[in-house]
Amino acid sequence: MTNSVVQVEKTLNPKMKPAFDQLSFGTVFTDHMFTMEYTEEQGWHDPKIVPYEPILLDPAAMVFHYGQTVFEGLKAYVTEDEEVLLFRPEENMKRLNRSNDRLCIPAFDEELALSGLRKLIQVDKDWIPNIEGTSLYIRPFIFATQPYLGVAPSKTYRFMIILSPVGAYYKEGINPVKIAVESEFVRAVTGGTGSAKTAGNYAGAMKAQEVAEAKGYSQVLWLDGKEHRYIEEVGAMNVFFKLNGEVVTPELNGSILEGITRKSVIELLQHWDIPITERKISMEELYEAYQSGKLEEAFGTGTAAVISPIGELYWNDKKITINNGEIGELAQRVYDTMTGIQTGRTEDPFGWRMTVDIDTAVAPSHN
């Protein structure tokens, strides 16, 4: 299917745009959205761009009851030359279909969805903020819509993409945060949904976050669900440690999200000839590395924050201070390079960027 199958209906009532120097995260949405429907008879069909508007759903729609829903997050940036860049968007579409498979949601055509996304960005191009640290956050998501209370995969679904101009995820900049190692709650376990980007993983993680925040920590470090020993993720991010000059990150084991920022950071470190290993890392090992002075840096990786340095870990009544609570040299270098590539300020030797052609006039379709 080609771009031309995506119909466009432009809004007659454009909204006021927010001041781009005062953006927060995920509260303001653009004028349009992409939608596509799934039925057993027609498969995925009727891809279109329409004015951003509320969704009308039967109270029995299965998303409210049995939670079949998957999502993605990525960002568009505008360069100084007014080019619009996406960062590895094909990876997001691939992962969304992998999440679909785990949640028994039918696969969609990734080329078509990317084409719909590009057209949506063309239509709402004036919403892409152009101030340092800002971007257009893109949220593709799919959810079950059949009105039915039996426990079974839904027979109908909706795919949507909404856009939100956002400021930096952490208003204070990328200052190192304090993290509590989670001792009670578990995010995911092998055989569960941990590697899928689905709502239930996030809903289940909120309680631990709430408890940690009440104790003065920003996020939790998740341990594995079987032995409560091996490190999995930090908050809603993947996690990296620099131990004695070598970088390590938990290996993909089926319960960890396959982060696109994670993958890109690994490729970047390899490009720099910095040793990077994906393997199991226990809290005991990390604590021993700390005690022997080998724990040099720790940071989370994710689309929203890109890089989030960890300044302190709290584990079993023990406080682990990392790099004097300051951002490490490697975290800073990775952050600068990743955001440089994403925003077009630096070279992209990997071919990670996709340019969105915003000069193409998007004529409303009359159908």
Stretch that binds a second copy, among 22-30, 240-248, 274-282, 288-296 (CB under 8 A): 22-30
26 touching a second copy, by CB under 8 A: yes
Return all residues near 57 (Cβ < 8 A) that are at least 6 apart: 63, 64, 145
Of 18 and 200, CB closest to a second copy: 200
Which listed residue (4, 80, 150, 172) binds a second copy by CB under 8 A?
A: 150
Report how far residue 326's alpha carbon sits from residue 276's, in angstroms, rounded to the nearest whole number: 22
Provide the angle, in degrees to the nearest 10, between the axes of the packed helices 89-102 and 260-271: 130
Of 167 and 328, CB closest to a second copy: 167
149 touching a second copy, by CB under 8 A: yes
Q: Which residues pair with 137 in a beta bridge?
A: 75, 164
107 touching a second copy, by CB under 8 A: no
DSSP 356: E
Of 51 and 325, CB closest to a second copy: 51
Torsion sign over Cα 209, 215, 218, 220? negative
141 touching a second copy, by CB under 8 A: yes
170 touching a second copy, by CB under 8 A: no
Of 144 and 281, CB closest to a second copy: 144
198 touching a second copy, by CB under 8 A: yes
Which listed residue (191, 245, 340, 364) binds a second copy by CB under 8 A?
A: 191
Report how far residue 219's alpha carbon sits from residue 43's, in angstroms, rounded to the nearest whole number: 40
Of 45 and 207, CB closest to a second copy: 207
287 touching a second copy, by CB under 8 A: no
List b or e across 145-176, with b for residues whose CB sees 16 or more CB atoms inside 10 angstroms: bbebeeeeebebbbbbbbbbbbbbbeeeebeb
Binding residues for a second copy, rule: CB under 8 A, are 25-27, 29, 33, 52, 54-61, 63-69, 71, 73, 101-104, 137, 139, 141, 143, 147-153, 160, 162, 164, 184-193, 198-207, 209-210, 225-228, 235-236
